[in-house]
Amino acid sequence: MGTLADRDLGSALEHGLERARAACRRTLEVYVPDAADRSPAAVALMRATAALEAALRLHTGDAEVRELALRVAANLARDAARELRASGLDERLLRCADACERAAFLCDRAESNESRAA
């Protein structure tokens, strides 16, 4: 067991997921201080944060489970990026959207590599 990097998913993936997770958390702290906020952007950001955290904490040798976790994280990160961009042009929102899009790209690439290796 160990980190994503230890399981050959790559340090770039781990770094990208961690960067996006941290950006999502910071953005939530600044823009969504009330956990009762159910705006589309807030909900998308909470979902993406949870999915990124799950993908980072995943400790399994099951390739199908890893692929599914990466697919979920990618989809929810993309949804969050889309909602953040629709919410305005604030620099913090755009940086978070960029981090989410990069994480989605890295998840897609890692998932594709997993599929080819299987």
Q: What is the CATH number of the domain that holds 47?
A: 1.20.1270
Q: Find the domain containing 109 and state its range.
A: 5-117
Task: For residue range 73-99, list pLDDT tens digits in order.
Answer: 999 999 999 999 998 889 999 999 999
Tally the domains of the chain: 1
Average pLDDT along the chain, 118 residues, taken 10 residues at a time: 48 92 93 79 94 89 89 97 92 95 94 72
Alpha carbon distance 110, 20 (integer Å): 16
Residue 72: other Cβ atoms inside 10 A: 18
pLDDT at 8: 46
